[in-house]
Amino acid sequence: MKITNVKSFVSSSGHFFVKVETDAGIYGVGEGGLRRRGTALAEVVRSFESILIGANPFQTEHLWQVMFRGGFFPGGVVQSAAVSAVDIALWDIKGKALNVPVYELLGGRTRDKIVCYPHNGGGSVEALVESCRKTHDAGWKFARWGLADGAGTGTFEPKRAIQYGIQQVEAVREALGNEINILVDVHTRLDPADSLEFCKKVEPYNPFFIEDPLRSENPASLRRLRQQTSVPIAVGEQFDSKWRFREVIEEDLLDYCRVDLCIAGGLTEARKIAGWCETHYIHLAPHNPLGPVSTAACLHLCLASSLVGVQELPRAPMSSLTDVFPVQVPYESGYLLPPESPGLGIEFNEDALTNVTKPDFSPPVGYQRDDGSYTNW
Residue of 15, 283, 287, 300 marked active site:
287
| 266 dihedral zone (left: phi>0; alpha: psi -120 to 50; beta) | left
Instruction: Spell out the residues 6+ positions from residue 149 whose beta carbon is closer than 8 angstroms to its own.
Output: 155, 156, 157, 158, 160, 161, 164
CA angle 20, 23, 24 (to 5 degrees): 95
Q: Would you say 358 and 145 are in contact if contact means Cβ atoms under 8 Å apart? A: no
Q: Is 62 a catalytic residue?
A: no
Q: Is 287 a catalytic residue?
A: yes
Looking at this protein, which amino acid is placed at residue 317? P
Per the DSSP assignment, residues forming a β-bridge with 146 are 185
Residue of 187, 280, 283, 300 marked active site:
187
Q: Would you say 35 and 16 are in contact if contact means Cβ atoms under 8 Å apart? A: yes
Polymer length of the chain = 377
Give the C-alpha separation, 151 to 131, whole Å.
19
Give the C-alpha separation, 137 to 292, whole Å.
24
Phi/psi for 252 (5° steps) reads: 55, 50
Give the C-alpha separation, 226 to 273, whole Å.
21
Positions marked active-site: 187, 287
